[in-house]
Amino acid sequence: MTLQERVDALVALGESIDHATNQDLYLKAKYENPWFVIRNIEQSIDAIKTQYLNREKLEEWIGRYNITETTSTKRVGLILAGNIPLVGFHDIISVFLCGHTAILKLSDKDKLLPTYIVHKLIGMYPELADAFEIVELLVDYDAVIATGSDSSSRVFEKYFGAVPHIIRRNRNGVGVISLTDNVDTLKNFRYDLFDYFGLGCRNVSKIYLEKGVSTDLIFESIADEKEIINHNKYKNNYDYSSALYLMNLEKFLTNDIVILREHEDIGSRIGCLHYEYYDSKEVLAQKLNDQRDKIQCVVSSEPIAGFTHFNFGHAQKPSLSDYADGVDTISFLKSL
C-alpha cells in the first residue's frame, strides 16, 4: 500500500466502527477488565474516530513528515498498556502509516479491543495481513516502543537497550487553578479528573491552587460526578485510601466522591487527588519544571510555558501530534 492508501484504510476503518453492532464485544471487554465500563469504551472509540481517524487531521499530521515509501520494512515491537481502552492505538497507526510491521504484545487488561480493531482492518484489506502480528512473546524485532510503570521501564531499558527504542514511564496530568477561575470556568474539569476513573496518564492527579483559592471550589466543580462512587472497584479504592490515611493520622478532605490530600507528589491513589498551593506563576513554573519527567500534560485556563497544555475538560482528547511523554513517535519510526 502507498501512504495515501494507508490513510484511506484508516479513514474507512473509522467509518466502519459502529457501537450498536459491537455491544457484545464491549460486554466481553468489560468482563475481561471491570474498569472498562461500556461508556468508557465508547468514549475512547469516539475519541479515536474523531481525533485519529479523521481524514483531514490524518493528512495534515502525516503531511508534516515527508514520509517516503519504504522498501526496508522494519518489525516494530509494541508493548501496549491496558489502563484505558485502546490506549495503544496511536502507536499502532503510527507504525502502520510509516510502512513498518507492528508486532503487538497486548496487555492482559486490554486484549479484545485491539484484536478486534486489527482484525477488522485486515478483514477490510486482506493485503494488510502481514502488517500486524499479535504475539504472546516479543521476539524478532528491529525496534521497540514499550509503555509501562517506572519499575517495568527499568526492565525494558535493560532488555531492549540494544535496539532503537522508546520507553515510557509513569506520568500524570496536573491541573492549575488560579484566582481568576470559578465554577463556570471549571465546569468541565471533572472530566479531566474522572474520565476512565482517573486511570489514564493524561488524567489529572495533582492540582496546583493559587494561594487564596478554596478547595471548596474543586468540590463544587465536581458535584455532578457523584455516580462514580457507585462503581465497585473505584469505591473499593476510595474506601481503602480513606482507611489508610485515617490510620496514618493524615489530614485530608472528602466529599464522599474523592479525597483531597495536600501532598507534593504528582501521582496519587485512585479515588484521591493531591493538591498544593503556589504563590506566583514564577514559583509554579519552578515547581512544574522540577517534576517535568512526571508530568504528561497541564490542564488550566491559560497555557504554561514549556508544557503540553489542555483547556479544562480536554485532557482526554489528545490530537495526533500530542505525543505521549513528548517523544515524537513518527520521527522515531522514520529514522529506523
Query: Tell me: the pLDDT tens digits for 159-180?
Result: 999 999 999 999 999 999 999 9
* Confidence band for 296, pLDDT divided at 50, 70 and 90: very high
pLDDT digits (tens, 9 = 90+) for 1-41: 899 999 999 999 999 999 999 999 999 999 999 999 999 99
- Interatomic CA distance for residues 78 and 261, integer angstroms: 36
Range list for CATH 3.40.605.10 in the chain: 3-169
Q: What is the pLDDT of residue 66?
A: 87
Give the pLDDT mean for 72-80: 94
Is the pLDDT at 51 greater than 90? The verdict is yes
Looking at residue 302, its amino acid is: E
Is the pLDDT at 275 greater than 90? The verdict is yes
Q: What is the pLDDT of residue 7?
A: 97
- Interatomic CA distance for residues 11 and 1, integer angstroms: 14
pLDDT digits (tens, 9 = 90+) for 203-215: 999 999 999 999 9
What CATH number belongs to 172-310? Answer: 3.40.309.10
Is the pLDDT at 71 greater than 70? The verdict is no
Q: What is the pLDDT of residue 70?
A: 66
Q: Say if CB 257 and CB 230 are below 8 A apart.
A: no
Buried b (16+ CB within 10 A) or exposed e, 88-108: bbbbbbbbbbbbbbbbbbbbe
Q: What is the pTM of this model?
A: 0.95
Q: How is domain 3-169 classified at the architecture level of CATH?
A: 3-Layer(aba) Sandwich (3.40)
Is the pLDDT at 116 greater than 80? The verdict is yes
**pLDDT exceeding 90 applies to what percent of the chain?**
92
Phi, psi of 64 (to 5 degrees): -75, -15
Looking at residue 15, its amino acid is: E
- Interatomic CA distance for residues 114 and 111, integer angstroms: 6
Rounded alpha-carbon distances, angstroms, from residue 267 to 35, 51, 182, 234, 293: 19, 27, 25, 17, 12
* pLDDT averaged over every residue in the chain: 95
Give the pLDDT mean for 215-225: 94
Q: Say if CB 108 and CB 98 are below 8 A apart.
A: no
Looking at residue 251, its amino acid is: K
* Confidence band for 153, pLDDT divided at 50, 70 and 90: confident
Give the pLDDT mean for 42-59: 97
How far the first Cα of the chain sits from its last, in Å, is 19
**CB burial of residue 305 (10 Å; 0-12, 13-18, 19+):** exposed
